[in-house]
C-alpha cells in the first residue's frame, strides 16, 4: 500500500539531488576554473537525468496515481505536497527524457559561452547557444500549454501562476505612463542632485565591511550564508541554512555593490526564514519569483532608498569608508543617492528607471515567442528599444544584450517578476506602515520589527502559497501599482526640490 511517507521520501530524494545541482551551479559562477565548463556540463547533465528519473519515473507516477485516488489518507501537508508534486510532474514529465537532459546540458554550456561572449564583447559567440535554448523552449511550450492564450503566456505562468500578457500589458502601461510623466516633471521643474561623490574611490574591503554589516542588521544570517564574487550577482539557496549571496565590485561605484548586497541578502532572508516543515519538499515548492523579488527589492529599494534608514546608516557608512565621505553632509548624500538618470545597465538602474529596463526585456521576449523574431536580430531590437525608452545609444554587445545571465539559464518569462517585485514591495510597505513606525524603527537601529512582519506574513510560507494569495492576505487587496507610483513620486519630488 502506498502511503504519504512514500511520497515524502520520494520528494526528499528529489530535493537532495536539487541541492547538489544548485551547489554545482553556484560553483560554476563563483569558483570553477575557466576551462572546466565542458566537464561541468557533463556533471549537470548527469544530475539532470537523476532528477528527471526521480521526479517523473515509474515510482513517482505510481505514488501520484495511488495517492490521488485516496487523498483521505493524507494530512494537510501531505495534500499540499501531493498537489505540488503532481504539478511538478505535469511540467517535467511531459518532456521526453532525452530532450530534458540535452536541454539541461545546453544550459550549462550556454552560461560558459555567455561569459566568453562578454569577455570578447561579441554576441555571436553566445548566439548559437541562445538559439538552441529558445528552440528547446518552443518545442516544450506546446507540451506545457493548457488554456494559455499565447506561447509566452505559458512561460510567464511558470514563474507567476496566472500571469498573462494581457495583464502585464495593462500593468506596464500604467507604470510606463507614470514613470514617463514623473521623469518629465523632474527634468522640467527639479534641481538635479550632486552625486559626484558616488564615484570616489572606496576599496572593495571598505565596501564589504559596511554592506555586510548592514545586511546583518537587516537580518541576513552569515551562519546560514556567505558572500562571494561573481560576474552577475545572484543568490543560491541550497536550503534554509545555506542561502549564499554574490556580488561584483567597482572601486569607483560603491553604490552598486552596497545596493546589490542589500538586494541579494533580501533573497537570502526569505530563504533562511521559510518554515522548517517544508525542508524536505522545496524541490516541488518553488517560491514565486515575483514574491521573491519583492523581498530583495524591499531591501534594496523600500529600505535601501529610504531617507529615514540612511539617517541612521550614513554615519556607519562614513566610518566604514574611513573618511572618504566625511565632507559630504547627509542631505547632499541622500539626494545624490536617489538621483535618477537613464543608464544602460539594469542592475545599476535607479528605482524610477528600473521598470523601463524590465519592460524592454519583456517586449523582446514577447517578440521572440509570440512573433518569432530571428535570434540574430535581437541586438538590433535591444538597441532600438533602449533608444526609444531611455534615449540611449547602446555602444556594444557587452553594454547591451549580453549584460544579463538569465537567458543563458533558460529563464524566459522571469524578467517581469522584477517589475512585479517592485510593485509588491511598495504595497507591502504601505500595509506595514499602518502598524509599524518606520522612522522610529530606523532611528532605533533595531530593525527586527520589519524582519518579524515579513517573516510572519511572507517568508514562512516559502512556495506553499501562491503569490496573489500572499499579497491579498497580507495587504487586503490585489496588486495595485499606484502604491509604487505614489512612493516614487513622493521621494523624487523631495530629492529634486519640488513642492507637490
Tell me how crowded residue 446 is: count the other CB atoms within 10 A of its CB. Answer: 12
Could you give phi then psi for residue 333, rounded to 5 degrees?
-60, -50
The answer to whether residues 359 and 172 touch, using CB atoms and an 8 Å cutoff, is yes
The DSSP annotation for 332-359 comes to HHHHHHH-----S-GGG--TTTHHHHHH
**Host H or E run for residue 263:** helix 254-272
Nearest to 451 by CA among 463, 461, 439, 459: 459
Q: How many CB atoms lie within 10 A of CB 5?
A: 9
Q: How many C-beta atoms lie closer than 10 Å to residue 161's C-beta?
A: 14
399 to each of 111, 186, 192, 252, 346, how far by Cα in Å?
Answer: 17, 26, 25, 18, 10
The answer to the question of whether 457 is labelled as a binding residue is no
- Asked whether the CA dihedral 363, 367, 369, 374 is positive or negative, the reply is negative
DSSP H helices in 190-240: 204-217
The CA–CA distances, whole Å, from 46 to 177, 286, 369 equal: 48, 22, 29
SS3 state of residue 480 = coil
Count of residues making up the chain:
500
- Give the Cβ contact number of residue 222 at 10 Å: 13
Q: Is 293 annotated as a binding residue?
A: yes
Give yes or no: 264 in active site.
Answer: yes
Q: Is 267 annotated as a binding residue?
A: yes
* Residue carrying C-alpha cell 533573497: 267
How far the first Cα of the chain sits from its last, in Å, is 69
Q: Which of 13, 160, 236, 264 is catalytic?
A: 264
DSSP-assigned letter for residue 228: E
Rounded distance between C-alpha atoms, residue 34 and residue 31, angstroms: 9
Task: Give the three cell numbers for residue 481.
Answer: 501599482
State the DSSP H helix or E strand holding residue 492, giving kind and residue range, or none if neither.
helix 482-495
Cα gap 389→90, rounded to integer Å: 39
Annotated binding site: 263, 267, 293
What residues are annotated to the active site?
Answer: 264
Binding residues for Zn(2+): 263, 267, 293
Amino acid at each position: 500500500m502506498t502511503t504519504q511517507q512514500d511520497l515524502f521520501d520520494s520528494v526528499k530524494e528529489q530535493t537532495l539531488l536539487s541541492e547538489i545541482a544548485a551547489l554545482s551551479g553556484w560553483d560554476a559562477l563563483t569558483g570553477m576554473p575557466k576551462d572546466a565548463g565542458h566537464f561541468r556540463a557533463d556533471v549537470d547533465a548527469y544530475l539532470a537525468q537523476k532528477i528527471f528519473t526521480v521526479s517523473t519515473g515509474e515510482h513517482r507516477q505510481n505514488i501520484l496515481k495511488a495517492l490521488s485516488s485516496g487523498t483521505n489518507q493524507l494530512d494537510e501537508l501531505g495534500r499540499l505536497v501531493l498537489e505540488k508534486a503532481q504539478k511538478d510532474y505535469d511540467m517535467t514529465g511531459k518532456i521526453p527524457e532525452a530532450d530534458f537532459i540535452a536541454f539541461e546540458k545546453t544550459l550549462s554550456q550556454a552560461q560558459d559561452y555567455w561569459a566568453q561572449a562578454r569577455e570578447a564583447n561579441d554576441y555571436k559567440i553566445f548566439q548559437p547557444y541562445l538559439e538552441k535554448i529558445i528552440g528547446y523552449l518552443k518545442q516544450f511550450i506546446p507540451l506545457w500549454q493548457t488554456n494559455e492564450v499565447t506561447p509566452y503566456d505559458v512561460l510567464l505562468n511558470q514563474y507567476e501562476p496566472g500571469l498573462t500578457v494581457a495583464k502585464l500589458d495593462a500593468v506596464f502601461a500604467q507604470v510606463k505612463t507614470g514613470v514617463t510623466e514623473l521623469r518629465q516633471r523632474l527634468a522640467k521643474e527639479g534641481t538635479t542632485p550632486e552625486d559626484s561623490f558616488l564615484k570616489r574611490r572606496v576599496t572593495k574591503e571598505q565596501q564589504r565591511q559596511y554592506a555586510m554589516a548592514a545586511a546583518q542588521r537587516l537580518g541576513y544570517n552569515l551562519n546560514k550564508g556567505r558572500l562571494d564574487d561573481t560576474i552577475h550577482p545572484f543568490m543560491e539557496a541550497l536550503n534554509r541554512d545555506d542561502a549564499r549571496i554574490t556580488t561584483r565590485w567597482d572601486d569607483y561605484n560603491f553604490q552598486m555593490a552596497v545596493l546589490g548586497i542589500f538586494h541579494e541578502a533580501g533573497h537570502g532572508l526569505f530563504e533562511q526564514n521559510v518554515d522548517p516543515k517544508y525542508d524536505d519538499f522545496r524541490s516541488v515548492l518553488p517560491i514565486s519569483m515575483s514574491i521573491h523579488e519583492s523581498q530583495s527589492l524591499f531591501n534594496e529599494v523600500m529600505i535601501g532608498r529610504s531617507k529615514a534608514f540612511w539617517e541612521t546608516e550614513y554615519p556607519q557608512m562614513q566610518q566604514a569608508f574611513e573618511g572618504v565621505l566625511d565632507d559630504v553632509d547627509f542631505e547632499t548624500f541622500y539626494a545624490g543617492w536617489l538621483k535618477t538618470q537613464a543608464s544602460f545597465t539594469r542592475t545599476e538602474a535607479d528605482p524610477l528607471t528600473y521598470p523601463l529596463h524590465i519592460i524592454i526585456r519583456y517586449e523582446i521576449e514577447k517578440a521572440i515567442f509570440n512573433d518569432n523574431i530571428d535570434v540574430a536580430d535581437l541586438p538590433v531590437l535591444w538597441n532600438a528599444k533602449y533608444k526609444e525608452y531611455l534615449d540611449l545609444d547602446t555602444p556594444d554587445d557587452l553594454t547591451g544584450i549580453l549584460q544579463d545571465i538569465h537567458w543563458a539559464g533558460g529563464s524566459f518569462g522571469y524578467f517581469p517578476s522584477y517589475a512585479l517585485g517592485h510593485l509588491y514591495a511598495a504595497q507591502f510597505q504601505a500595509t506595514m506602515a499602518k502598524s509599524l513606525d518606520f522612522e522610529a524603527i530606523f532611528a532605533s537601529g533595531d530593525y527586527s520589527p520589519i524582519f518579524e512582519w515579513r517573516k510572519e506574513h511572507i517568508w514562512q510560507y516559502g512556495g506553499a502559497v501562491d503569490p496573489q494569495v500572499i499579497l491579498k492576505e497580507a495587504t487586503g487587496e490585489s496588486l495595485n501599482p499606484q502604491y509604487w507610483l505614489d512612493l516614487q513620486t513622493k521621494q523624487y519630488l523631495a530629492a529634486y526640490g519640488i513642492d507637490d
